[in-house]
A and B are shown apart, each in its own frame.
Chain A
Amino acid sequence: NAGVTQTPKFRVLKTGQSMTLLCAQDMNHEYMYWYRQDPGMGLRLIHYSVGEGTTAKGEVPDGYNVSRLKKQNFLLGLESAAPSQTSVYFCASTRSWGVGTYEQYFGPGTRLTVT
């Protein structure tokens, strides 16, 4: 099991450029998440998906779009990058929710710099 993988690991963009971050999981998890991590702020949820073909906004969705065309993949897009989007991006996944709570499994992160 590779768990949760993210592509690319590093990227530098110029302001206004676009890019897509790819997250893949091989655990057959229903739920997937995109977070950003900024110094002194912990992780904040950007968007999430509760299943193939469905997405929803999190705490800080502005400037990002997502798609979940396949259960195992969750894509995060930046249409017009801004310096404020310089951050480390983490993808996570978890199985379906029933009674109780299941932990999220995290990818290794993508470090994005926007100049």
Chain B
Amino acid sequence: AQSVTQLDSHVSVSEGTPVLLRCNYSSSYSPSLFWYVQHPNKGLQLLLKYTSAATLVKGINGFEAEFKKSETSFHLTKPSAHMSDAAEYFCVVSDQYNNNDMRFGAGTRLTVKP
């Protein structure tokens, strides 16, 4: 069975500083990996996805993530945080051939201080 561990439940940064949200995964097969963002009282929106193409994946709003198979990690980064980035972020893993079994991490709440 696959699973995801988000290593931080809460991350706080100052506006204009880098963001790092950490995610480790476990999968028996070739995984597909996603990062979703959830703003307060909203649904989830896809930030980016990895599906065995380039290991460095660029997403919306300046976010990117790097797939590192040797470290089983898929950390999310952004060079410079903006106030509007404050939200909950979810790392998700699925099997490329059975996406009906998507496993979500517990989430990381990002706070951005002015």
Which residue of B32, B96, B100, B106 has the most chain A CB atoms within 10 A of its CB atom?
A: B100
Contact with B along A64-102 (1 / 0, CB 8 A): 000000000000000000000000001010100100111
How many CB-defined contacts (below 8 Å) exist between A and B? 55
Select one of A42, A58, A101 contacting B90, CB under 8 A.
A42
Chain A residue at minimal CB-CB distance from B1: A59
Chain B residue at minimal CB-CB distance from A103: B46
Select one of B36, B99, B105 contacting A101, CB under 8 A.
B99
Question: Which residues on B sit within 8 Å (CB–CB) of A58?
Answer: 100
* Contact size range, B: 20 to 34
Question: Which residues on A sit within 8 Å (CB–CB) of B51?
Answer: 100-101
Count of chain A residues with Cβ under 8 Å from any Cβ of B? 26
Question: Which residues on B sit within 8 Å (CB–CB) of A31?
Answer: 100
Complex interface residues of chain B between 82 and 114 (CB less than 8 A to chain A): 90, 94, 96-97, 99-102, 104-107
Contact at A90–B44, with CB atoms within 8 Å?
Answer: yes
Select one of A40, A92, A103, A107 contacting B9, CB under 8 A.
A40
State the B residues within 8 Å of A (CB).
Answer: 4, 9, 32, 34, 36, 41-46, 49, 51, 90, 94, 96-97, 99-102, 104-107
State the A residues within 8 Å of B (CB).
Answer: 4, 31, 33, 40-45, 48, 50, 56, 58, 90, 92, 94, 97, 100-104, 106-109
